[in-house]
Amino acid sequence: MKNIAILGFGVVGGGVADLITKNCAEVEALGGEQINIKYILDLRDFPDSPFAGKVVHDYSLIVNDPEVDVIIEVMGGSHPAYEFTVAALKAGKSVITSNKEVVANFGDEFLALAEEAGVCYRFEAAVGGGIPVLSPIISCVKQNKITEVRGILNGTTNYILTKMFSLGDSFEAALSDAQAKGYAERNPDADVLGTDACRKIAILTALVTGKLIPTDKIHTEGITGVRHEDVLMAESVGLKIKLLGRCLVKDEGIYAMVAPFMLPSDAPLAGVNGVFNAVEVAGEPINSVMFYGPGAGAGPTASAVVGDLMEILRSGRHYAVPEFTKGDIGVADFGGFRCRTYISMVGVCEKCVESAFGKIHVIGTEGEYAFITPEMSEAETDAAIEKLIGRGGELKSRIRLL
Amino acid sequence: MKNIAILGFGVVGGGVADLITKNCAEVEALGGEQINIKYILDLRDFPDSPFAGKVVHDYSLIVNDPEVDVIIEVMGGSHPAYEFTVAALKAGKSVITSNKEVVANFGDEFLALAEEAGVCYRFEAAVGGGIPVLSPIISCVKQNKITEVRGILNGTTNYILTKMFSLGDSFEAALSDAQAKGYAERNPDADVLGTDACRKIAILTALVTGKLIPTDKIHTEGITGVRHEDVLMAESVGLKIKLLGRCLVKDEGIYAMVAPFMLPSDAPLAGVNGVFNAVEVAGEPINSVMFYGPGAGAGPTASAVVGDLMEILRSGRHYAVPEFTKGDIGVADFGGFRCRTYISMVGVCEKCVESAFGKIHVIGTEGEYAFITPEMSEAETDAAIEKLIGRGGELKSRIRLL
């Protein structure tokens, strides 16, 4: 018999408890062992829950109980999740999490501790909700030279952008709708400012490159600057706007970023709508594969968590990540990142824009002067914009092209 | 040091040899062992190849060499691939294959033999080319109640249908183009008649249900009956036509089939174009996840084969398939399968169609009478069509709706 404890009895914790209970026979048949939920840690009591008798408020009960084999941390946030995880691993208990924040900040430390203690640390649910992403990517990494991982990593912002495209909503209207539907928090900053996607691309980058880049070294933009006008401009030239997390592996180093991108309507990621997530991996010789599915929600997330549990019970294995260490070694200067960019300005003339940017592709001249630059480095684009601002121009929008 | 042998030095075999050689250091670092390609079996000689010295023509050299640990069978076809695989497993050698035909026909036997001999039999490349599909699906199966697996499993037919939609090509013109580009064989029957997709859905069905259904029990239609007129009708109501392999797990049993389906343009599978493949898995609580990528080609297929090799070297593990035994136990009568159907007939009147089908949705009346039926069982649809034919009607087309 294997005893487990669940830290946090919110939506995800409840989903995990339900799924383990419901699929118990199957889970046991495949894992080969009986599974018993021994404790559920939460600040609250749940007198009406079938799990009421398992709820405790003191973590030391759990971490000091030698019978507990696996701890499932679904509390979210960095603290006390960090302290609880360290204590669990040091006590020789395997840990599973859906908490991207704590993985993005401390995943390297946890993996080293787990290795030392001979236990497992797994976090499939931290990226892409229920989509099996991490394990297949790790498989791909081994025999491929990965050149890029990119994805729609946040369902809330994708829902908002989808509404802005399909219904012509403004950002504010789409956000209100997402909040009304429960897709966006009352304080939507972590989603709309790109913080959530940034944590996930940090984790994906670590899997592909072996380096856990500090999140503050990842260029991060949210979608608050995406205007209805930009949506219309994009549509007029067959492009869609998506908030992408990207990690590119180049000769000069790693570019990791979160930002809105314009991409062709027939690109695989352009077809990912609503609250769905998708992760695309490109490399040689695999070409490009994509994983698509629900990026959040109690059921899908619980499925990923219980998948990790099965894997631990069956094989007692870590992810076979080559290395996963902290360090910005290998992070390229973002100023050197090259792409084409959609820019919209007022107070500029065609001649001055061309003198600053070279051969541009003009897509709109009414009210604002909207154009797409040639491929340039970020530093060159910055300089050209500065030049136009110096001559009285005003920047309304700047969105990179994929 | 691990010695491997490659059976078949065609496009895939060459890709595998190249990939192992190129990524040798990485592969060894992760697999933990040196890898040596000791033999390549082919009828031909390859005097100009860097692997010329490894080519042999006699399989007994390989199977009787106790130094050979893993055999990679990329010959294709049922025989002698079947005999070679049996001999290899009985000799205690692990086997990896990209050959869907032999897996669909004998996979159960191979897995049992491998189990007995304590070696591995893996076949990730047999479905979806380079897309990591099988391992993630097996992970999903464990903690989910899978209700359906469906996919675009054949790149050639998807390329042809894409051309018919995007360029308005006829089937014949699109097929010629696919042949000219090397996507379709000179004899395209295995692709266009659905045989190839049938083998792949047989394998997927086995992974999900534990039963390897004989391929002749899988209702299989190709795309040769899809006409340009049907494409136009589908487009007029926002539908696309895709050749799908489907396995539905229902209370009354398993429905497994390959057939063209009409699906909404915004469905995830509708966005899969050209030679790409995709597999969608639906279940509880995972909702729906999709895997997308290149379904064929030397590079992607080699990536999947070498992925299996890494897995064997690292963990010596099989797929953890709950069971994978032969038998049609649980296959439901296809006559009970329920769906809406697009039907186009001549020589019928609205009144007689309605008397046969009930409330239909008429989508075209010029030349042919085209309509979509309500949800009915296959047997009911058959009977209604027969009724109309009995009254002088002629069936021009019948395509199910997803």
**How much is the pLDDT for B323?**
56
Confidence of residue A25 (pLDDT cuts 50, 70, 90): low
**How much is the pLDDT for B139?**
76
Question: pLDDT by residue (tens digit) across B18-30?
Answer: 999 887 666 565 5
Residue B37 lies in a domain: yes
> Global pTM?
0.89
Report yes or no: B287 at the A interface, CB cutoff 8 Å: yes
Q: Are B304 and B98 in contact (CB under 8 A)?
A: yes
CA distances from B262 to A78, A303, B15, B223, B341 (A): 47, 30, 36, 12, 9
Q: CATH no. for residue B22?
A: 3.40.50.720
Residue B322 has pLDDT above 60, yes or no: no
Q: CATH no. for residue B155?
A: 3.30.360.10
Report yes or no: B376 at the A interface, CB cutoff 8 Å: no
Task: Please indicate, yes or no, whether residues B188 and B123 belong to a single structural domain of this protein.
Answer: no
Residue A325 has pLDDT above 90, yes or no: no
**How much is the pLDDT for A322?**
47
What six digits make up the tokens of A292? 């698509």
DSSP annotation of B34: -
What six digits make up the tokens of B72? 């990679």
Task: Please indicate, yes or no, whether residues A39 and A60 belong to a single structural domain of this protein.
Answer: yes
Distance CA B184, CA B200 (A): 17
Tell the residue number behind the tokens 């070694």, with chain if given: A329
User: What one-letter code names the amino acid at B283?
Assistant: G
Mean pLDDT across A58-78: 96
Q: Are B69 and B4 in contact (CB under 8 A)?
A: yes
User: What one-letter code names the amino acid at B339?
Assistant: C
Q: Which of A26, A142, A271 has its CB closest to that of B310?
A: A142
End-to-end CA distance of chain A: 51
Mean pLDDT across B60-76: 96
Task: Please indicate, yes or no, whether residues A120 and A200 belong to a single structural domain of this protein.
Answer: no
Distance CA B18, CA B46 (A): 14
Catalytic residue among A93, A100, A163, A200: A200
Q: A30, A142, A158, A242: which to substitute to probe chain B, counting the most B Cβ within 10 Å?
A: A142
CB contact under 8 A, A268 and B266: no
What percentage of chain A exceeds 90 in pLDDT? 73
Report yes or no: B263 at the A interface, CB cutoff 8 Å: no
Residue B320 has pLDDT above 90, yes or no: no
In the three-class reduction of DSSP (H, G, I as helix; E, B as strand; rest coil), residue A53 is classed as helix
**How much is the pLDDT for B77?**
94
Q: Identify the helix (H) or strand (E) that includes residue A96.
A: strand A94-97
Mean pLDDT across A169-181: 92
**How much is the pLDDT for A140?**
78
The region of weakest confidence among B26-35, B117-126, B143-152, B270-279 is B26-35
Chain A residues near residue B135 by CB distance under 8 angstroms: 135-136, 139
Confidence of residue B243 (pLDDT cuts 50, 70, 90): very high
Chain B residues near residue A302 by CB distance under 8 angstroms: 285
Distance CA A84, CA A82 (A): 6
Residue B327 lies in a domain: no
Residue B317 has pLDDT above 70, yes or no: no
Q: Are A60 and A87 in contact (CB under 8 A)?
A: no
Question: pLDDT by residue (tens digit) across B345-356?
Answer: 999 999 999 999
Task: Please indicate, yes or no, whether residues B101 and B124 belong to a single structural domain of this protein.
Answer: yes
Distance CA B200, CA B129 (A): 11
The region of weakest confidence among A308-322, B96-110, B246-260, B324-338 is A308-322
Residue A330 lies in a domain: no
Count of the separate structural domains present in chain B: 3
Say what the ipTM of the complex is.
0.84
Distance CA A295, CA A293 (A): 6
Q: Are B360 and B248 in contact (CB under 8 A)?
A: no
Residue B100 lies in a domain: yes
Residues 6+ apart with CB under 8 A from A248: A147, A148, A254, A255, A256, A337
Task: Please indicate, yes or no, whether residues A237 and A212 belong to a single structural domain of this protein.
Answer: yes
Mean pLDDT across B97-118: 93
Task: Please indicate, yes or no, whether residues B258 and B312 belong to a single structural domain of this protein.
Answer: no
Task: Please indicate, yes or no, whether residues A67 and A175 belong to a single structural domain of this protein.
Answer: no
B 293-332: CB under 8 A from A: 293-294, 297-300, 302-303, 306-307, 309-311, 314-315, 317, 320, 322
What six digits make up the tokens of A108? 């390297």
Q: Identify the helix (H) or strand (E) that includes residue A384.
A: helix A378-390
Mean pLDDT across A205-213: 88
Query: Which of A1, A10, A11, A65 lies closest to A39, judged by CA?
Result: A65
Radius of gyration of chain A from its Cα atoms, rounded to whole angstroms: 23
Chain B residues near residue A30 by CB distance under 8 angstroms: 142, 320, 322
Q: Quick one: closest CA in B to A277, which residue? A: B289
Question: pLDDT by residue (tens digit) across B165-192?
Answer: 988 899 999 999 999 988 888 899 999 9
Distance CA B339, CA B64 (A): 53
Task: Please indicate, yes or no, whether residues B343 and B213 belong to a single structural domain of this protein.
Answer: no
Report yes or no: A29 at the B interface, CB cutoff 8 Å: yes
Residue B121 has pLDDT above 50, yes or no: yes
Residue B10 lies in a domain: yes
Residue B329 lies in a domain: no
Residue B321 has pLDDT above 60, yes or no: no
End-to-end CA distance of chain B: 51
Q: What is the overall mean pLDDT for chain B?
A: 91
Query: What DSSP line would sit under A97-156, residue for residue?
Result: E--HHHHHHHHHHHHHHHHHHT--EE-GGGTTTTS--HHHHHHHHHHSEEEEEEEE--HH
In the three-class reduction of DSSP (H, G, I as helix; E, B as strand; rest coil), residue A368 is classed as coil
Distance CA B17, CA B22 (A): 9
Query: What DSSP line would sit under B261-277, residue for residue?
Result: EEEETTSGGGG--TTEE
Distance CA B272, CA B268 (A): 7
Residue A33 has pLDDT above 90, yes or no: no
**How much is the pLDDT for A32?**
62
Report yes or no: B268 at the A interface, CB cutoff 8 Å: yes
Distance CA A297, CA A286 (A): 31
Distance CA B138, CA B124 (A): 11
3-state SS of chain A: helix, strand, coil percent to 5? 40, 25, 30
Task: Please indicate, yes or no, whether residues B286 and B314 belong to a single structural domain of this protein.
Answer: no
What six digits make up the tokens of A217? 């070294």
Residues 6+ apart with CB under 8 A from A400: A259, A260, A261, A262, A339, A340, A341, A342
Torsion (CA) B157, B160, B164, B167 in degrees, nearest 10: 150
Residue B296 has pLDDT above 60, yes or no: yes
Q: Quick one: closest CA in A to B267, which residue? A: A271
Question: Beta strand pairing status for B253-264 and B239-250?
Answer: antiparallel
Question: pLDDT by residue (tens digit) across B28-51?
Answer: 655 567 889 999 999 999 999 999
Distance CA B209, CA B204 (A): 9
Residue A51 has pLDDT above 60, yes or no: yes
Q: Which of B142, B288, B300 has its CB closest to that of A286?
A: B300
Q: Are B284 and B295 in contact (CB under 8 A)?
A: no
Task: Please indicate, yes or no, whether residues B192 and B314 belong to a single structural domain of this protein.
Answer: no
Task: Please indicate, yes or no, whether residues B100 and B138 belong to a single structural domain of this protein.
Answer: no
The region of weakest confidence among A348-362, B18-32, B204-218 is B18-32
Q: Which of B15, B268, B307 has its CB closest to that of A292?
A: B268
Distance CA B256, CA B330 (A): 11
Q: B134, B143, B166, B314: which to substitute to probe chain A, counting the most A Cβ within 10 Å?
A: B143
> What residues pair up with A243 in beta bridges, in sequence order?
A260
Residues 6+ apart with CB under 8 A from B275: B155, B156, B158, B159, B183, B294, B295, B296, B297
Residue A384 has pLDDT above 70, yes or no: yes
Contacts of B55-63 with CB under 8 Å at 24 or more apart are B55/B9, B59/B7, B59/B84, B59/B87, B62/B5, B62/B7, B63/B87, B63/B88, B63/B91, B63/B93
**How much is the pLDDT for A175?**
94
Q: CATH no. for residue A356?
A: 3.30.70.100
Q: Are A264 and A239 in contact (CB under 8 A)?
A: yes
CA distances from B338 to B255, B341, B373, B385 (A): 10, 9, 11, 15
Radius of gyration of chain B from its Cα atoms, rounded to whole angstroms: 23
Q: Identify the helix (H) or strand (E) that includes residue B313.
A: helix B298-315
Residue A116 lies in a domain: yes
Residue B331 lies in a domain: no
User: What one-letter code names the amino acid at A304?
Assistant: A
**How much is the pLDDT for B389?**
97
Q: Which domain holds residue A370?
A: 336-401
The region of weakest confidence among A259-263, B64-68, B268-272, B376-380 is B268-272
Task: Please indicate, yes or no, whether residues B275 and B348 belong to a single structural domain of this protein.
Answer: no
**How much is the pLDDT for B157?**
96
Is B138 or B102 the better-scoring residue by pLDDT?
Answer: B102
Confidence of residue B145 (pLDDT cuts 50, 70, 90): confident
In the three-class reduction of DSSP (H, G, I as helix; E, B as strand; rest coil), residue B165 is classed as helix
**How much is the pLDDT for A326?**
62
